[in-house]
Amino acid sequence: MRIEIWADVVCPWAYIGKRRLERALSREPGERAEVVWRPFRIDPSAPAQAVPLTEALSDPVAGEALAACAPGLSPEDNRSRVALIAAEEGLGPRWGAAWRADSHAAHRLIALAFQEDGSRLQDAVVEAILKAHFIDALDISSTDVLGRLAGEAGFTAGEHLLAEGAGGGLVRELVLTGKAMGVRTSPTIVVHGRALAGAQPPETIGEFIRHAARQEHRRLPEEVERLRHAESLLDQRDPLGALVLLRPLLEDHGTDRGVRMLAARAYYASAQLGRATEALQDLVARSPDDSYARYLLGRTLQRRGRDEEAAVHLSLATVMTPGYAG
C-alpha cells in the first residue's frame, strides 16, 4: 500500500505529521506501507534569498502565506501552539524555523531522492531537511546546505543533481497534480485516492489507513489519471497548468481526440488562439459533426477578428446543437 504525504517542508505541521504517521504505522506491524513524500507549496512567493523569519512575519503578505498550514490562527499563535506540540512529539530540544526560505530546491532534492532509490532514501532526506529547518535553524533554500544534507542522508548524487538544476520540471508537475487532486493544506495524507488533511493524531491516522486499505481500489492507467488531472486544472481555471500536464500526452498520444480537445480548450482559455485554431480545425476536419468543436472554433475565430469564417462554424454548431444559439 502506498501512502502519499503532500506537504511543504517549511510547514511545521509537516514535521509533526511525519512523527504521528510513524507512530500510527508502528502500531500496524502487519501493514506493509510505502510512504512517499509529494510537494505542496504554502509560500511560493518566498524570496530566492532567504530572510530572517522574524522579519518576514512583519510582512502581512508573508504572514498570510505562512499561515496556510494553520488556517484560523495568527502566525504568532501558530508558532506558540506548534512549539508545545512539537515538544510532545519529541522534536527538539530547540524548536522553530529561523528563515523564510524558498522550499523549491528542497522539494527537488526530495523528489530526486525517490527517483534515485525509492522511499527509504527519500525518507532520510526529508528527515534531514525538516530537522535542519526546524531544529538546527538552517537555511534550506541554500543549495550548499541541501547538498551537505543529501550526503549525510546517503544521497551522494544529490548535490550534483541540484547543481545541474535537475528535478525542477518534476516538482512543478507534482505540485500541479496535487492541486488537481484537491490537496489544499499541508500535510495531507492520501491513500487509494482518499485524503486526510492536517497533522491528525496517530489514532485518527491509523483508522484512516485501515479504512482506506479495506476499500476496493483499481488504479487507473497513468495516462488516464494525467488526463483527468489536466481536466481538473482546466475546471479550476488554470489552463497553463493543464497544458503542463498534457505535454507528455500530446507527445505520445497527440492524435487521441480526447487529448486534442482538452488541449484545444486549454489553448483557448489561455488566449493561445493560434494553437487553439490549429487544433480545432484538425478536430473539425476529422469529425465534421462535432458541434462543440465547431462552436469553440467559431468562438476562437471571433476572438481573432475573423468574423466571416467564425459565422460559418457558429451557424453549423447552432443547427446541430440549438443550445449554442445563446
Any idea where the domains of the chain sit in the sequence?
A: 2-214, 222-325
Residues facing residue 174 across a β-bridge: none
Burial label for 303, CB within 10 Å (0-12, 13-18, 19+), is middle
Helical H segments across 41-166, by residue range: 53-56, 60-66, 75-88, 104-134, 143-153, 158-164
The secondary structure of residue 220, as a DSSP letter, is P
Residue 242 pLDDT:
98
Contact assessment for residue 170 and residue 177, using Cβ atoms and an 8 Å cutoff: no
Contact assessment for residue 263 and residue 227, using Cβ atoms and an 8 Å cutoff: no
pTM for this entry = 0.91
Contact assessment for residue 289 and residue 320, using Cβ atoms and an 8 Å cutoff: yes
**Residue 5: which region, alpha, beta or left (left: phi > 0; alpha: psi -120 to 50)?**
beta
Q: Does domain 222-325 fall into CATH 3.40.50.720? A: no
What is the β-pairing status of strands 194-197 and 188-191?
antiparallel
Which CATH number does 2-214 carry?
3.40.30.10
What is the β-pairing status of strands 34-39 and 2-7?
parallel
Per the listing, cell 524558498 goes with 102
Residue 140 pLDDT:
98
Residue 220 pLDDT:
82
Residue 74 pLDDT:
61
Residue 149 pLDDT:
98
**Number of residues that make up the chain:** 326
Residue 77 pLDDT:
64
Respond yes or no on whether the N-terminal peptide bond of residue 93 is cis (omega within 30° of 0). Answer: yes
DSSP state letters, 75-109: HHHHHHHHHHHHHHTT--SS----EE---HHHHHH
Per-residue pLDDT of 74-114, as tens digits, reads: 666 677 788 899 999 999 889 999 999 999 999 999 999 99
Please tell me the distance from the alpha carbon of residue 252 to that of residue 182, in angstroms, as a whole number: 26
Regions of the chain where pLDDT drops below 50: none
Identify the helix (H) or strand (E) that includes residue 72.
none
Per-residue pLDDT of 218-267, as tens digits, reads: 778 999 999 999 999 999 999 999 999 999 999 999 899 999 999 999 99
